[in-house]
Structure 1
């Protein structure tokens, strides 16, 4: 994998962990309103998205169609938080409470799975040649599925910071 992607995946994950580490479990699971996710649920959603992305990439690599698809400006789409994106059922978070450390462990596990998967790919150039339908972004080249993982995390780090302000959980 290229260093830019690897660095962004690593840096964004570290930023997320930094944002949640000092929260109490009560703050972590507190919902500012009934129709908003808790910080714990946002983080669980991020774990589910990373795991679903691995499955989507693996599935896409098995496809025989190699016609290059249009590349999208994923950062512009995902980092624009004025446009709400409804999470598909498969990546909706659990409603049960989580401990902060439990989510950090889940984040670590999903990242290890992603990196192991990517490091076992024999021909990484296929990631740019094949694509799979993304629920929010449309037909997306597989390498951009990797890019969307850290951009999606960045989007939700902003949301977590807003939730922390609402909950009075900022230092």
Structure 2
């Protein structure tokens, strides 16, 4: 499961980097409006979610309670018509970011997360233990891991929407 997820992690991250690598710092930090994040803030949010997920999985594995938790429909995360409120712990900074610095932060966080996954001795325990997910409710830990790349795909769509709005505004 974790090896399969690594392929998904890599493909999704490559797509994210393609979306942001050629942006200027000004474009990267441009906030579409008061209700929406800049692309830089979206990327910072992705880092914070990955760090929070690592903590959630760690806490969930420390729980002695094992069960057969209900599987969630993780594809819900890709539905951009469905809005989720980010918990304060994963709300991005309003400070500006440099594209290259963000790329480095994304790489560091991902390397730390994949390193963490490699330390997991009992992958089967991930499907038998749960933690409450802010958007999905009580969720098996393996699905917490899966939501990382699905959540990132959701925000890649958001980044594409922002970039499309720039093109429409310039026409």
Q: TM-score per shorter chain, which class?
A: over 0.9
- Cα deviations across residues 69-88 of structure 1 (Å, max 9, x unaligned)? 1001111x101111100100
Contact 1:65 / 1:130 at 8 angstroms: preserved in 2? yes
Which runs of structure 2 are paired with 1:19-58 in the superposition (5 Å)?
19-58=19-58
Residue 89 of structure 2: aligned partner: 90
**Structure 1 unaligned spans of 5+:** none
The structure with the largest helix share of the pair is: 2
- Cα deviations across residues 2-55 of structure 1 (Å, max 9, x unaligned)? 432111011001110110000000000001112211000011000100110000
Q: Could you tell me how far apart the structure 2 residues matched to 1:14 and 1:125 are?
A: 28
User: By how many angstroms is 1:60 displaced?
Assistant: 0.3
**Structure 2 unaligned spans of 5+:** none
Structure 1 outlier segments of 4+, above 3 Å: none
Q: How many residues align?
A: 169
Residue 7 of structure 2: aligned partner: 7
Residue 110 of structure 1: aligned partner: 109
User: By how many angstroms is 1:168 displaced?
Assistant: 3.4
Q: Could you tell me how far apart the structure 1 residues matched to 2:88 and 2:39 are?
A: 18
Which runs of structure 2 are paired with 1:109-128 in the superposition (5 Å)?
109-128=108-127
Residue 71 of structure 2: aligned partner: 71
TM-score for the superposition, normalised by structure 2: 0.95
Residue 139 of structure 1: aligned partner: 138
- Cα deviations across residues 111-154 of structure 1 (Å, max 9, x unaligned)? 11111111011111111111100000000000000100000000
Query: What do you get for the CA RMSD once the two structures are aligned?
Result: 1.4
